[in-house]
Amino acid sequence: MMVILRRAGIFLLTLAIASIVVFAFMAVLPGDPAQVALGVNATPELLAQTRHAFGIDRPLPVQYLDWIGGLFTGDFGRSYVTGDAIGPQLLDRFEVTLWLVGAATVVAVVVAVPLGTLAAAKHRTASGTVVSGLSQLGAAVPAFLAGIVLVEIFAVSLRILPSGGWTPPDADPVAFLKGLVLPALSLGLVQAAVLTRYVRSAVLDVLGEDYLRTARAKGLRPTRALIRHGLRNAAVPVVTVLGLQLATLLIGAVVVERVFVIPGLGSMLLDAVGGRDLIVVQDVVMVLVAAVLVVNLLVDVLYTVVDPRLRRAR
């Protein structure tokens, strides 16, 4: 319990520091949002008026506190371009990205755990070598390329899945799932390839452990011994990598959302960057950073669930 509390404290501190960094980056970026909004022919008076309306004529610390205070109450500010409140849109987009990243993670785990375990258990045989080779190849493929190939096969040639677009799950669950398959696969398979290699090496380590020999000595067959006594102990390094991969997945989602025309955080970010809507960029980046930190926190909590040796508070 102490471990988790301490970890939560570290999480909050990191979040605070991250918010300052994100804010500082946006503040030093060249380009005046008011100038972008009004165009090159705007009068100085109008520019000043707009800057005042955006709140960017105030000192930076005040701007920062105003922004961060807003985040705590769910107020993400207003878009420089459209003038709409950012909060509701951000929430909608975040939900879409969560679906995509979640599904991709499921794909990665469901593919990598059995394949990596197989590659380790059969590492001296042909099937183990084939899995290792494929995972190496798969890890080298960028997600957007995988996406284009998958669209070519399943949407263009076979016509069994849509090539893009998004249906909310509550509107039409079947269409939602069909639309989710290809983007989740293109994002998840590449991660699966990377994860397979980590699962393989974690399982290989466990296979050499004395307690696995004890399990065999009790009369368990090799496969049962590995499943009952090996996999849980192999999970610690795999969970670590999975946590790191989620950060990569969030970034990969930015590109894959573009390929599949999905209205998630990624496409919101790209649109905002294109429109110089700096406040939106700032909000989206902050949400992504917070998401990554939350994942890291969850990974730390998961450790203590998996490995009883980490439960002692020190």
Partner 1 sequence: MLKVDGLCVAAGELPLVSDVSFTVGSGERVGLIGESGSGKSLTASAVFGLLPDDVTAAGSVRLDGVAEDLVGASENLLSRLRGSRLAMVFQEPMTALNPSMRVVDQVAEARLIHRTAGDRAAAHRDALRLLEQVRLRDVAELGNAYPHQLSGGQRQRVLLAIALANDPDVLICDEPTTALDVTVQAQLLDLIVKGVKERDASLLFITHDLAVVATVCERVLVMYGGRIVESGLVAEVLTSPKHRYTKGLLDASDLESVDERGRLHAIAGAVPAAGQFPSGCVFRNRCPRADDRCRVQPPWFGEPTAGHACWHPVGGDE
| 269 vs 237: CA distance, rounded Å | 32
Of 48 and 310, CB closest to partner 1: 310
Longest Cα separation, the chain = 85
Of 185 and 235, CB closest to partner 1: 235
212 to each of 196, 206, 224, how far by Cα in Å?
21, 7, 10
Burial of 197 per CB tally in 10 Å (0-12, 13-18, 19+): buried
Find out whether 96 and 262 touch, Cβ atoms under 8 Å. Answer: yes
Least Å from the CB of residue 215 to partner 1: 7
| 29 vs 264: CA distance, rounded Å | 24
Q: What are phi and psi of 170, to 5 degrees?
A: -80, -15
| 176 vs 77: CA distance, rounded Å | 30
Alpha helices, DSSP H, located in 84-208: 86-121, 126-139, 143-150, 173-207
Burial of 134 per CB tally in 10 Å (0-12, 13-18, 19+): middle
Which residues have CB under 8 Å from 111's CB, separation 6+? 188, 189, 192, 195, 196
| 280 vs 63: CA distance, rounded Å | 15
Of 101 and 206, CB closest to partner 1: 206
Of 95 and 205, CB closest to partner 1: 205
Least Å from the CB of residue 310 to partner 1: 10
Of 6 and 232, CB closest to partner 1: 232
Of 52 and 218, CB closest to partner 1: 218
Least Å from the CB of residue 212 to partner 1: 8
Least Å from the CB of residue 199 to partner 1: 17
Q: What are phi and psi of 85, to 5 degrees?
A: -65, 135
Least Å from the CB of residue 125 to partner 1: 11
Give the binding site for partner 1 (CB under 8 A): 124, 209-211, 213-222, 228-229, 232-233, 306-309
Of 270 and 306, CB closest to partner 1: 306
Least Å from the CB of residue 207 to partner 1: 9
Of 6 and 228, CB closest to partner 1: 228
Of 39 and 308, CB closest to partner 1: 308
Least Å from the CB of residue 122 to partner 1: 11
Least Å from the CB of residue 1 to partner 1: 17
| 148 vs 142: CA distance, rounded Å | 10
Least Å from the CB of residue 126 to partner 1: 16
Burial of 173 per CB tally in 10 Å (0-12, 13-18, 19+): exposed
